[in-house]
Amino acid sequence: MSAVSFTGRVAVVTGAGGGLGRAHALELASRGAKVVINDLGGDISGENGGTAMADQVVEEIRAAGGEAVSNYDSVATPEGGRSIVQTALDAFGKIDILINNAGNIRNAAFTDLTPTAIDALLAVHVNGAFYVTQPAFTNMRENGYGRIVFTSSAAGLFGSIQQANYAAAKGGVFGLANVVALEGAPHGILANTILPAALSRMGADMNEDQFVGMPTTPAHAEPEMISALVAYLASDANTRSHELYSIARGRYARVFMGVTPGWHVAADEPVATPDDVAAHIDQIRDLDGYSIPGSMNEEFALVR
Ligand code: NAI
């Protein structure tokens, strides 16, 4: 029997009408999950919505013998978030699994980004993750069980040109996921974050400058590659929380935020000057013996 089974589990996948979200939903449903397929339809900028995308995925799941219902609300408002989670409660009585996947993209050079292009991305990625996760977390806490997967991006954590709005939004998702993991821990709620790279309509919005230095040899980029990790993280087989995983071109890897041992100025020594910093910059930057703090408190506890 597979270690990754969702019999009796209820999942919500946002932005599940196409691309990665559809693949995640099909994977969860094929392993027994009852799934809410949320998608407002529309193009990659998030405009021009409709019901067809979500309904089509629901039909696919039902045709394969699974259980699914549609929701067409935007993740980007508190009402939308509540409605998405309520759809799970009304149809299936609870929510065990939330895959925060909905996303939009509007690439431009940093100084060309309009307020609309900035706000639209923060609204869907950051606010959307807040507004769906809050009501989901409330129900999970009542049940003492939850698995939440956030979707960030290598663009957000490592940087990617012409994607400042997208990167800032995805960095926000990472910050949110850290706190949800910490606050969820006492309630059996595990939260992890993925940095995917897969072929979907989003990649079509990239231009050649953005791919400079990337390998050109063929490699796996199927959405199903991402869904394998998402399903694992959403299952009982996963007992870890507060972690980050990258999946790109067939490589699955852990990504982490570390801190170097650094250079310490003792309490009885004079306050450091800029020249002192200059003199110790190599020691400050030295990666040998780095730590991966599990919270702000753990980071500060490292300081002598
Ligand atoms: P996609 O454009 O095919 O899928 C995104 C889905 O979200 C669409 O179906 C869209 O209708 C839906 N959506 C957009 N705004 C929404 C809203 N306000 N409420 C509800 N649904 C909404 O793109 P893809 O590639 O499948 O992206 C899925 C997630 O993965 C996104 O969060 C994206 O930023 C992230 N990602 C994708 C990468 C890739 O290589 N494809 C790389 C890094 C991150």
Tell me whether residue 245 is one of the annotated catalytic residues.
no
Residue 2 lies in a domain: no
Low-confidence ranges of the chain (pLDDT < 50): none
Nearest ligand 1 atom to alpha carbon 76: 18
Residue 81 lies in a domain: yes
The pick from 47, 104, 157, 174 for probing ligand 1's pocket by mutation, whose C-beta has the most ligand atoms within 8 angstroms, reads 104
Say how many Å lie between the CA of residue 151 and the centre of ligand 1: 9
Indicate which residue's Cα is closest to atom 8 of ligand 1: 15
Whether 213 contacts 265, CB under 8 Å: no
Are both 78 and 185 inside the same structural domain? Answer: yes
Instruction: Give the model confidence (pLDDT) of 99-118 as tens digits.
Output: 999 999 999 999 999 999 99
Give residue 263's domain range: 258-304
Are both 302 and 169 inside the same structural domain? Answer: no
Whether 205 contacts 107, CB under 8 Å: yes
User: In one letter, which amino acid is 301?
Assistant: A
Q: What is the pLDDT of residue 200?
A: 82
Say how many Å lie between the CA of residue 103 and the centre of ligand 1: 4
Q: Which two tokens stand for residue 135?
A: 């009501």
- Cβ of 146 less than 6 Å from ligand 1: no
Number of domains in the chain: 2
User: In one letter, which amino acid is 110?
Assistant: F
In whole angstroms, give the CA distance from residue 156 to residue 1. Answer: 37
Q: How far is CA 50 from CA 73, 76, 186, 201, 277, in A?
A: 10, 16, 39, 17, 56
Q: How many residues does the chain have?
A: 304
Residue 115 lies in a domain: yes
Residue 4 lies in a domain: no
Q: What is the pLDDT of residue 221?
A: 82
Q: What is the pLDDT of residue 292?
A: 97
Q: Which two tokens stand for residue 21?
A: 């979200």
The pick from 24, 39, 126, 251 for probing ligand 1's pocket by mutation, whose C-beta has the most ligand atoms within 8 angstroms, reads 39
Are both 201 and 267 inside the same structural domain? Answer: no
- Cβ of 66 less than 6 Å from ligand 1: no
| Per annotation, catalytic residue among 166, 232, 245, 290 | 166
Does ipTM surpass 0.95 in this model? yes
Say how many Å lie between the CA of residue 62 and the centre of ligand 1: 23
- Cβ of 57 less than 6 Å from ligand 1: no
CATH number at residue 174: 3.40.50.720
Residue 120 lies in a domain: yes
Q: Which two tokens stand for residue 70?
A: 């549609």
In whole angstroms, give the CA distance from residue 254 to residue 158. Answer: 14
The pick from 26, 200, 227, 255 for probing ligand 1's pocket by mutation, whose C-beta has the most ligand atoms within 8 angstroms, reads 200
Q: What is the pLDDT of residue 217?
A: 62
Are both 249 and 292 inside the same structural domain? Answer: no
* Block residue for tokens 């990649």: 203
Are both 14 and 66 inside the same structural domain? Answer: yes
Are both 231 and 130 inside the same structural domain? Answer: yes
Query: For the stretch 41-69, what's the b/e string if a residue is b when 16 or more beta carbons lie within 10 angstroms of its beta carbon?
Result: beebebeebeeebbbebbebbeeeebebb
- Cβ of 156 less than 6 Å from ligand 1: no
Residue 5 lies in a domain: no
Residue 137 lies in a domain: yes
Are both 129 and 273 inside the same structural domain? Answer: no
Residue 209 lies in a domain: yes
Are both 62 and 170 inside the same structural domain? Answer: yes
